[in-house]
Structure 1
C-alpha cells in the first residue's frame, strides 16, 4: 500500500512539473512571437517571411506565393504591383521544405484570405524518406504551435546586434549578381516522369486541399532553372496538377516567350534568375493573373499605401542592381 501511495505521489509531481513546463513554453512562445513582430530586425533572415506576412494588414494579400529560393528570386510583387495593381506576397525561404510550406501557409491564412495561392514546384522534388518526413513533421509542428523553437536564436541577435538582413520587397529579394548559363537547351522531350516522394506527395495534397477549403485557387509554377528542371519533371507536374485540379505554368518551356537572356538573366549559372530575369517572369505572371482571374487593381487605394511606398524603394534597388550586373558582364566579356 505504501509503495502504491509513493508511486501516486511521484506521478502527481511529474504531472505538475509537466504542466509547469508547458505553461512556461507557451509563455515563452507568446513572448518571442510578440518580440519578433515588434522587432523583426532581430529575427534570423531565413525566418523573416514568417514574421513579415503576419505584419501585413489583415486580408490585404490577394496572391500568396510559397516555395524555396526559386520563388523569392523569380516572383516580384513590386513588378506586378507597378504593372497591374495586384497585391501579392512571397513567403518563400531558402531551402523551404514541404513541411515548412504547409505550416507557412497555415500561418498566412490566420490573417490573410488570398484569392490565389501560387506554389513554386522545385521543393516537390526534394527526396525525403518516411523517417525523415516524420522527424521534420514533428519539428515543424512544434515550430507552428510553439514558435519559441523557431525564434529562439533571437536572443543571440539581441546580445550581438542584428545580423545583416536581406531587403524584402513583399518577400522578393533583389539579386544583383550575374553568372551566365551556357549549357544550351535543357528541356528535351521525353515520356519519362520524375518521382515525387511519398511524404512530399502527402503534404502537397494537404496544401492543395487546404487552399480549396479556404476558397483559394491554386497555381503551380516552375521557374526557369536549367539546374533544377527537365522534361521528366514537367510531365510529373502536369499530371499532378490535372489530378488535383490546379493550374500549372512551366516557364522552362517559355524562356523565349519571356525573353530570357541566359547571359544576362542568370544569377548563378542556371540555378536562379537575377533581378533582370525576375522582372520578365513577373510581368508575364501579372498579365497571366489579370487575364485568368478576377483580381482588383488596388493602386492608389489608401489601404495599400505600403505597396505604393515600397515601389519607390524597389525601383531604386532595381536600377542599382541593373547597373551592377552590367559592370559584371563587362568584366566577364573583357576577361574572355
Structure 2
C-alpha cells in the first residue's frame, strides 16, 4: 500500500513538474511571429498545415525563402507549395527537414537551393542552429540533427530551449504569453515578403567560370543523403541556385553540384546565369546584395514556373488560398 502511494505521489509530482517546465519553456522561448522575419510563424505554419497539402516543397537557406513565392505559383498554375527554409540552413539540417516534411506531406517535387553547398563550415553559430532547431518538434530525428549540428557541450541547448532562454524574463512581451504553436499559420506559405529595394547590388558575369571546387566531405555526405531520401520517397528532386549575385568561388562549388546532379540523373539550373531572361533589374529587384525582394521574387517565380516542365495549369478554386493571394497583392501594391 505504501509503495503504491509512493508511486502515485511520484507520478503526480513529475506530471506537475513537466507541466510547469513545458509552460516555462513555451513562454520563455524566442518567438518571431510578426513582421518580415516571422520565422516562428512560418515553420509552425508548415507543421500545422493539412496533411498532404503541398505538391511542391522548397528547401534551403534565405535564398530559398526570398526567391520562391508559393502564392504566385498557385495563381499561375494551381500547384500548392510551401517554403520550408531557414537562414543559412546547412545541408544536414535540410536533410532532417526533408525527413520531417515527408512524414507529413507527400509532395511530387522537392526543390533545393544549393547555396550552402558552397560553405565549408563543420558547424555554424548558435543563432543559425537555434533558428532551424527551435520550432522543430522533438523526435529522434531532432536528436540526430543536434548531434551533427554542434560539438559536444553545445548540443543540449538545441533540444531543450529552456536552457538557452531561461534568462529572458525581463524581455517578455504579450506575445510570449499568448503564443500557441497549434494556432500558428503563415499566409505567404514560408515566403518572406520583403518590399525594400537595394540600389547598390552588383551582378558578376560568371559565364566563363567553368572549373570547379570539391564540396566538403560533410556537405557531400548530406547531399548524397538528400538524393537518396528523395529517391526512397519517390519525390522528384530539383537542385538549383536562385538569383543571388554569386561570387566566382561559389560558382565553382555550384559547378561541382551540377556534376553530382548529372551523375544521379538530376537536373541542376543556376539562375544566376539567367538575369536577362528573367528580366531582373538590379536597381529595383533586390532587397540587399544577395537576396531578391518581393518584386524580383515575383519575376523569378513566374520564370521558374514557365520554364519548369512539372508545372501545368490546374483549377485555382481553393478559397483559402485565394484570400491569401489577395492579401499578398495588397502588401505588394502598398509600395
TM-score by length of 2: 0.72
Q: CA RMSD in A?
A: 4.2
The 5 A counterparts of 1:21-100 are 41=33, 45-100=38-93
Please point out which of 317, 321, 331 is paired with 1:307: 321
The question of 1:211 aligning with 2:204 is answered no
**Match for residue 242 of structure 1?**
262
Q: Is the 8 A contact 2:108 2:236 kept in 1?
A: yes
Give 1:190 deviation, angstroms. Answer: 2.8
Asked if 1:279 corresponds to 2:294, the answer is no
Report how far residue 306 of structure 1 moved.
2.6
**1:237 deviation in Å?**
2.1
For residue 110 of structure 2, give the secondary structure of its aligned residue in structure 1.
strand
- The SS at the match of 1:100 is helix
Residues 244-301 of structure 1: CA deviation (Å, up to 9, x unaligned): 22221211111110001111112113x1111111001101122234xx227672510x
Asked if structure 2 preserves the Cα contact closer than 8 Å seen for 1:28 and 1:148, the reply is no
State the number of aligned residues.
290
The partner residue of 1:264 within 262, 272, 284 is 284
CA distance in 2, matches of 1:30, 1:206: 36
Would you say the 8 A contact 1:118–1:219 is kept in 2?
A: yes
User: What do the CA deviations read for 1:55-90 (whole angstroms, capped 9, x no partner)?
Assistant: 111101000000100000000001111111110100
TM-score w.r.t. length of structure 1: 0.72
**Residues 194, 82 of structure 1: CA spacing in aligned structure 2 closer, same or farther, 3 A cutoff?**
same
Give secondary structure in 1 for the equivalent of 2:67. Answer: coil
- On the 8 A contact 1:50/1:104 being kept in 2, the answer is no
Q: Distance in 1 between matches of 2:198 and 2:123?
A: 37
Distance 2:124 2:81 in 1: 35
Out of 200, 220, 241, which is 2:239 matched to? 220
Gapped regions of structure 2 (runs ≥ 5) = 1-12, 130-142
Q: CA deviation at 1:154?
A: 9.9
Unaligned runs of at least 5 residues, structure 1 = 1-19, 324-336
How far does residue 40 in structure 1 lie from its aligned partner after superposition?
Answer: 8.8
Distance 2:45 2:325 in 1: 17
CA distance in 2 between partners of 1:45 and 1:65 (Å): 17
1:40, 1:51 within 8 Å by CA — same for their partners in 2?
A: no
Report the CA distance between 1:182 and its aligned residue: 5.3
Question: Are 2:33 and 2:40, in contact at CA under 8 Å, matched by a contact in 1?
Answer: no
| In 2: Cα distance, 1:79 partner to 1:287 partner | 12
Structure 2 distance, partners of 1:40, 1:285, is: 29
For residues 166 and 306 of structure 1, do their structure 2 counterparts lie closer, same or farther at Cα, with a shift above 3 Å needed? Answer: closer
Q: How many angstroms does 1:128 deviate by?
A: 2.4
Change (3 A) 1:130 1:143: closer
Secondary structure of 1:64's aligned partner:
strand
User: How big is each residue's C-alpha offset from its partner over 1:16-71, in whole Å with a ceiling of 9 and x where there is no partner?
Assistant: xxxx99xx8899789979xx9xx9949x9444443211111110100000010000
* Greater Rg by CA: 1
Task: Please name the residue that 2:275 is paired with.
Answer: 255
What corresponds to 1:14 in structure 2? none
**Between structures 1 and 2, the one with greater helix share:** 1
Residue equivalent to 2:253: 233
Question: What SS does structure 2 have at the residue aligned with 1:205?
Answer: helix
2:54, 2:107 within 8 Å by CA — same for their partners in 1? yes
SS at match of 1:225: coil
